[in-house]
Amino acid sequence: MNLPPPAVLATWPIPNYIDPPTRGHGVLIVNIVCFSLALIIVFLRVYTRVWITRSAGFDDILILIGLMFGIGMAVATSLSTEYGGMNRHVWDITISKLVTIQQLNLAWEMLFALASCFTKISLLWFCRRLISKGTHPTYNLLFIMAMVFVGFNNLLFVFLSIFQCSPIHAYWDINHTGPYHCLSDVGIIFSGSVINILTDLMATTLPMPLI
pLDDT, tens digit (0-9, with 9 covering 90-100), for 44-86: 999 999 999 988 899 999 999 999 999 999 999 999 999 888 8
**What is the rounded CA–CA span in Å between residue 114 and residue 58?**
17
Domain segments of the chain as ranges: 24-210
Mean pLDDT of 184-201: 90
User: For the chain, what's the residue count?
Assistant: 211
pLDDT digits (tens, 9 = 90+) for 91-104: 898 888 889 999 99
- Top pLDDT among 10 and 196 is at 196
Q: Are 56 and 91 in contact (CB under 8 A)?
A: no
CA distances from 58 to 2, 46, 158 (A): 42, 11, 23
Local confidence band at 133 (pLDDT 50, 70, 90 cut-offs): low
Give the Cα separation of 138 and 33 in Å (integer): 40
pLDDT at 3 over 80: no
Q: What is the DSSP letter of 181?
A: E
How far is residue 23 from each of residues 61, 73, 75, 92, 158, measured CA to CA in Å?
Answer: 37, 20, 18, 13, 30
- Nearest residue to 180 via CA among 192, 191, 168, 196: 168
- If one compares 176 and 122, the residue with the highest pLDDT of the two is 122
Q: Is the pLDDT of residue 7 over 70?
A: yes
Greater model confidence, 100 or 3: 100
How far, CA to CA in Å, does 18 sit from each of 12, 24, 33, 98? 17, 15, 30, 16
pLDDT for res 157: 94
Q: Are 171 and 102 in contact (CB under 8 A)?
A: yes
pLDDT of residue 134: 64
Residues 136-192: pLDDT tens digits?
A: 788 889 999 999 999 999 999 999 999 999 999 999 988 877 888 988 888 888 998
CA atoms within 13 A on the CB side of 67: 19
pLDDT over 70 (residue 200): yes
pLDDT of 130 above 70: yes
- Which candidate, 35, 98, 102, places its Cα nearest to that of 67? 35
In the three-class reduction of DSSP (H, G, I as helix; E, B as strand; rest coil), residue 207 is classed as coil
Q: Higher-confidence residue: 140 or 117?
A: 117
Confidence class for position 121, pLDDT limits 50, 70, 90: very high
Band of pLDDT at residue 41, cut at 50, 70 and 90? very high
Report the predicted TM-score, pTM, of the whole model to 2 decimal places: 0.89
Separation CA 14–CA 19 (nearest Å): 13
